Each structure stands twice: as C-alpha cells, then as structure tokens.
Structure 1
Amino acid sequence: MRISKIAATSLAVVAATAAVSLVPAAAGARPGAAGTVVGVEALSAAATLPGSARAERLIYRSTTAGDQPTTTSAAVYFPSGTAPEGGWPVIAWAHGTVGLGDDCAYSVAGPAAVERDWAYLGTWLDQGYAVVAADYAGLGGPGEHPYLNGIVEAHNVVDAVHAATAQYPDLSNKWAVVGQSQGGGAAVFTARYATEFGGPTLDYRGAVGTGVPAYIEDVIQLLGPGMPPIALSSHLSAYVLYILNGLRTTFPDLDIESLLTDSGRTWVDRAATACIGPLGDELAAAEPSVGSMFTRPLSSIPDLHGLLSRYMGLPESGYDRPLLLAQGLRDTDVVTPETLRFAAVLEANRQPATLRTYPTDHDATVNASLPDSLPFVRGLFA
C-alpha cells in the first residue's frame, strides 16, 4: 500500500470515527454488521446532486475482496416535497469508472461525467425517487478498490441501501438498482444477488444496466507482450490498468507485477491512485502500447479464464426480478457485440431480461435510455 493511500485512509477512518457520536446505530443492528451506519458527513459541493432537497454522505460497513469486512461510503439524495406513505422509493445508483484513488470517490469528487450523470440522476429525483450512490469498497475508505469485482460491488450497493433505509425513516425499503459502465456491470451483479444479500428487510424490485461491460474476461486474457504495438484510446488503456490493479487487489498471490515490465509497473502503480480524467490525459500524452507493459502474457497464469470469470464474469442465470439492459450500438468503451451476446444468453436461459438498443455511444446511452428506463422502473414499483 502506498503512503498517499495510507494517509488518505487514516483521514477517512478518523472522520468516520468522529461522526459516530453524532449518529446512533440503526435500531437492532449488530455492531459491525454489513449495512450498519458508522457515521454521517456533509457532502462536498462537487458531490451534491443539483436539485436534491437534502444530501448527505453515509459511512457504513460492507465487504471487500476475499469476503473481508470493510468500511465504505455512499451519497444519499432526497427529492423535494413530503415523502409518500411508506417512504420515498429508492434508486441505488451504481456509478461508472471514476478511478482508484480515495480522492476519486463519488461521494467526495462527484461523478466523472458530471453533466451526463447529474441530468440522469436529476430525472430520477424529479420522478420522486431517493438516490443512494455507493462508492464501492476502497474508494474513499480503507484498502484498495478491487475494480470490476462484481461480488464486492453487489455487496457494496446492497449494504448502502441497508444503511440508508436504516438511517432515514422517510425511505422505503422498496428499491431498484440502475448503473452505467462499471456500474452497469455492478447493477447486473446486484440484480443477481440483491435478494440473497438484502435479506428480508429489503424489498428489491429490479435493475437497469446501461453500457454493461460483458465478457471482458475473454478480452483481458489476451493481454501480453505479443499484442500489436499500437496505442489504445486513453480510456481503454486506463481500464486495462485499473483491471490489473483490481486483479492484484483481489488475488495478491498472483504477483501481477512479475508479468510486467518496469514501464508496466510504473503505469499500474500510477493508476492505483489516479482518477480517470488525469490518468486518461497522461496516457494520451505518452501513448504507451499495452504490449510494452508485459514481459509475459497474462495467460501464463494457471486457469486464467476461470479466475477472471469468477472475478468479473456476469452471471448468466439466477435472476429473480426484471432486468433491463440498455446498449448504445456505437459504444466502443465496452465490447458492444459481447453485451448483445450476453443479452442473448440471458434470453436463451429464460431469464427475466429485456434488451433495448440505441444509435448512441457509451456516454449518450445513459440519458437516451430514460424513455425506456422510467416506465420500466415505474412498473417495478407499481
């Protein structure tokens, strides 16, 4: 762990500890149990959704890589007006890639795509939903973020809803999850495990995933020194570096560094503390080829594809509530044909999934999907 990360984590823990005296634990909660509120803080202006009547940062207990307990955080936004009978229905927002450093956390720095996400979340707020936006483990809290570890992200999202509904009496226990990009994958994992992880106190209704990264494990296994010496787009290169960080956080015994050149280790270490915007700018200026970062292929790891599938492979069955997949056909941030393939697999497996496509790129699909997402989610709560 790097010194800057230790310092940031210490500050986060001190802040959370200081807040405990201000916030009582939820009634009946077991000390340290996942979903237990540890503290409440004010949100920064950058992380406050415009138009929210009330906005706060929750610190709560959850789970990280290796099924280990951790502390993480979430932003909570309330709509205007008086809560309906039973409380505001909850939209759990699973955000896209912001980076891996503590200062990148959604509840600290706000979304990476500010205009896009504020317009999207503002629409849900205007429709009378409260929004609970989990940071994911290792972002703004102790430890490293296991990027694209779907089980961890599902725990973090569900535990954020547990924490918020326990903390705020005017929130309903009825909830759905929506997510984009990294968060699209997190929403899909959450859809698969929400009922199991949520238990009897939450009433999970369904999910929307936009720009979902499907079968990334099939692409990642090809990384190595034999790749053509071409520079990927800065965002794609950043995703690769974040995935390598996620692998070494989730599987430290793999010794990912032993597969890398000096340049590769430098870039992976830089990505461990960098937000997506600055890292993308640095990669655009340097234009490193991915192949130049490796001394050996990633496939030299035994049972690599199985390991990757268990880590990031989207579940192909077991969904007990409706799932809407919304995909832009001009999306090059994810492998669009693989996302369409995933939807076809769900259909073949008779899962309760619906696919909608749009003539849009990765970013534009988020708000383009609203004419389908809004009535879909409204129906879930009907």
Structure 2
Amino acid sequence: MRLFGWRARIFTAAVASAGSLLMVPGAPAQAAAPGTVIDTTAHPDGWRGMANGSSVDYWTTRSNGEAVQASGALIIPPGPAPANGWPIMAYDHGTSGLGSGCGGQSDVSRFSRPKEDAILQYFVNKGFAVVAPDFLGLGKFDTGPHPYLETRTEATATIDLVRAAREAHPELSKTWALTGFSQGGHAALGAANLQSSYAPDLDFRGTIASDPASDVEKFVPLAGPYVPEIPGQNGNAIDGFVVSMLAGLRATHPELDLNSYLTPRGQQVLDQAGSLCFNDIMKVVDGTSVGDLLARPLADDRFRAAINEYMTLPTAGYNAPILLLINVTDMVVPSPLHAALVAQLAANGQDFSVVTGTGGHTELNPAMWSAIDAFTARVLATPTRS
C-alpha cells in the first residue's frame, strides 16, 4: 500500500470530485440508414406536462458502425409552424444508468423528472420543437449496456434523432441547436463537434452546455487495486460512475480485454450493472471499493489509448458558438475540470462564452438564464440557411 499510496490519494481526490458527476426485443428485418424512422407513437396532452408529445424510434449506429435501434422524445409547439418550419432544440440528459428504460425520455413511466420537463417546456415556449434522445441502450431497445460517456454514440444518437424527427414531421426546420446538462453537456459538445462532418445538410446554430463532463479520462487510469473504499453515499456514487465508464468501455472495446484488469468481483459488478439504472448501480457497489474491482493498475498504454478514444471531448473544430454554464463550486464535475475545458477551448481559438455561478451541479442562476435567453433569441432571429 505504501508503494502505491500516492496514486491512491490522487485517484481518490480526483475521482471523488469527478465521480460524483456526473422492451422492445428484436428488430425489423433490415436496418435502414442512420436517422431513419422506425416508428412514432403520439402521446395524449399532458405527457411530460405538454401537448404534441410523441416517442420516436429510429436507426442509429454503434461506434463500430453497426446499425442499432434507439428511441427518444419529440415535443412540438402548439399552433401552425412558422414559414421556415419549427427550429429544433436537441436536449441531452444527464447520467441515468446503463440499462434499457433508464433514459427516461421516450418512456416516462419509470421516472418523474419535473426539473427536466421544465427545461423542455422552456424551449417549447420559445418556439422550438424539442428532441430528447434516450441515448444508445437506455431507451426501448435492449441493445446491451449503455456506452456511458462514449463521445461518438452520444453524438450520433442525438443527431440521428434530429434527422428522424424531421423525417416524421416535415414541418420541422433544418435549423437546430443543442442543450445538455452534465453527461448531457458532454454529449451536446460531442454532437456539436461531429455535426459539421456528419450532418452538413442541417443548419446548426450552437450549443448550451451546463457543467459538462470533461477530462475524466485523464483520471480514471490512476485507478488500481490500491484505491481504498470511499465511505457513504458519495463513495457509492463515485464507484457507480467508475463502474459505468468501465462497463461501457468493456462493451465497446473488446480488443482491450478489460476483464484482464478486473478481479472476479469486478467482473461480477460490471455484469450486474450493465442492465441497471444508476440508483440500482449504487446499491450493487455498496461496500465495494474501486480497488476491490481491479486486479491490476489501469495506467498502461493500451488502457489509456482505449479510454481516450472512447470518451475524450474535442476541444477544437467547432463551427458554431458554445455557451458554457459553469458552477465554480461544482463538486460533481469539479471546477478544475471545467477550468481545464475552458483553457483548452481558448487555446484552440474556439467561439465560446462562459457564465459562472456558485450553485450546485447544473444549477442555473439568473445570469445563466439571461444568457440562455440571449442565445435562443439569436437562434430564432437568424434566418434559416438555404
């Protein structure tokens, strides 16, 4: 323990902050192109507190290119569409688990999320059609563990839902923007970076990201058998986030042979967690430390390369404005990670602005709401690109 004590202390301190981060089986006979609609289901007025809500099932892809089914929500403002169609706001949600049904966007029967619904209502009231992906593996379809914080599939699930919504509802505009909180902030920034090459036919306007997860991949490789148990609910949350990352990495990078890094207990925990929502994942890891899960340290070149490919957030190559809403007292995604993201975006000359607060994780203060108002006003005032 003495040999590795410094690593234990660094990992525990870093992940204690970063970790608090933040069925429809079968498929149609033949997969279609990403963004193609499989089915839509209209919901009665009052679904998620609004009218004109529906669930959208659609095709997207895994990060290896394999076609896979996904689901999400769509809410359209009441009344006739404007001349150029309803602009779209894509909403990416925060951490919810790894199993089917945990996304809570297309099927709200398992969860009540009034704060989230209020965000969606805000954008609908502004005149946006809102789309909200469950993310891969978290919706109606049992497609294996959700690849938690995998940049590529968060992005494609979001963009492909925008495409599917427009296919199902021609009154939707090609103009769109992104909003995300915590894991959803990570997803929104990943989609904003990818959209210029993945969906150049759409008219993308920018991104709002509240306390986004970033740079976590720099700390996870510090873990090993020397990491002690972190007591209490905070410890369960930290362990749950690490387990979620490792379960997603194991599913998407079989060449890494992640089981070779795990103890038998570690393999058992990842197997159990892969079908659970986050509250139940925390129960599974109760009384278990990250060190109990690992048979050897993660700090080798193979692991670092895999996790970097899996979850690193781009900090260059954005072609539309970014609004970062950052709480400097955030203990979930700790403020030093937010500062690192800001520094990297600035160093790479990206078009972004920052509004800070002193609230809890993803808490919005009046200055942040004013910035959101100004952002949405610019999107709505600028004519749709032909």
After superposition, what is the alpha-carbon deviation per residue over 1:205-234, rounded to whole angstroms, capped at 9, x for unaligned? 111111211101111111111113334533
Alignment map for 1:57-76 (pairs within 5 Å) = 57-76=55-74
1:228 is matched with 228
Q: Deviations over 1:302-326 (max 9, x none)?
A: 3332322221111111010001111
Deviations 1:91-149 (A, max 9, x none): 00111111111121322247967122112111111111111011222223242221111
SS at match of 2:356: strand
Contact 1:112 1:276 in 2 (8 A): no
Specify the alignment match of 1:167 in structure 2: 168
Q: Deviations over 1:58-93 (max 9, x none)?
A: 111111121222111111011223222211111001
In structure 2, the partner of 1:101 is: 99
Q: CA deviation at 1:255?
A: 1.9
Uncovered stretches (5+) of structure 1, i.e. residues with no partner:
1-7, 21-29
Q: Secondary structure at the match of 1:233?
A: helix
Code of the residue aligned with 2:276 in structure 1: it is A
Offset, 1:13: 3.4
Q: In structure 2, what is the Cα distance between the partners aligned to 1:242 and 1:178?
A: 23
Aligned to 2:299: 299
Residue 5 of structure 1 is matched in structure 2 by none
Cα distance in structure 2, aligned partners of 1:272 and 1:138: 10
Give the conservation status (yes or no) of the 8 Å contact 2:98–2:275. yes
SS of the aligned residue for 2:176 comes to strand
What is the letter of the counterpart of residue 278 of structure 1?
D
Opposite residue 64 of structure 1, the aligned amino acid is: R
How far has the Cα of 1:335 moved from its partner?
2.8
Q: Is the 8 A contact 1:116 1:363 kept in 2?
A: no
Structure number with higher helix proportion: 1
Aligned-partner SS, 1:183? helix
Tell me: CA distance 1:368–1:138, structure 2 relative to 1, closer, same or farther (3 Å).
Answer: farther
1:235–1:80 CA distance, 2 compared to 1 (3 A): farther
- 2: CA distance between counterparts of 1:152 and 1:367? 33
Q: Which amino acid aligns with 1:303?
A: R
Paired with 2:366 and 2:302, the residues of 1 have a C-alpha distance of 39
Q: Which residue in the other structure is 2:38 paired with?
A: 38
Partner residue of 1:123? Answer: 122
| Structure 2 equivalent of residue 375 of structure 1 | 374
2:200 aligned counterpart, secondary structure:
helix
Partners of 1:206 and 1:165 lie apart in 2 by 19
Cα contact 2:35–2:164 (8 A) shared by 1: yes
Q: CA RMSD in A?
A: 2.4
SS in 2 for 1:229: coil
3-state SS in 2 of match to 1:138 = coil
- What TM-score does the superposition give when structure 2 sets the normalisation length? 0.85
Whole-Å separation in 2 of the counterparts to 1:153 and 1:324:
19
Distance in 2 separating the partners of 1:13 and 1:363: 37
Shift of 1:366: 8.6
Q: Give 3-state SS (helix, strand or coil) of 1:299's partner.
A: coil
What residue in structure 1 maps to residue 307 of structure 2?
Answer: 308
Q: Is the 8 A contact 2:256 2:306 kept in 1?
A: no
AA at the equivalent of 1:314 = L
Q: What is the aligned residue count? A: 354
**Closer/same/farther in 2, CA of residues 220 and 31 from structure 1, 3 Å limit:** closer
Partner of 1:198: 199
Cα offset, 1:188, TM superposition: 0.5
Partner SS, residue 271 of structure 2: helix
Q: Which amino acid aligns with 2:222?
A: L
Q: Structure 1's 163 and 367: CA in aligned 2 closer, same or farther, altered over 3 A?
A: farther
Q: Map of 1:230-249 to 2, 5 A cutoff?
A: 230-231=230-231, 232-249=234-251
Q: Take 2:101 and 2:247, find their aligned partners in 1: how far apart are those partners?
A: 17
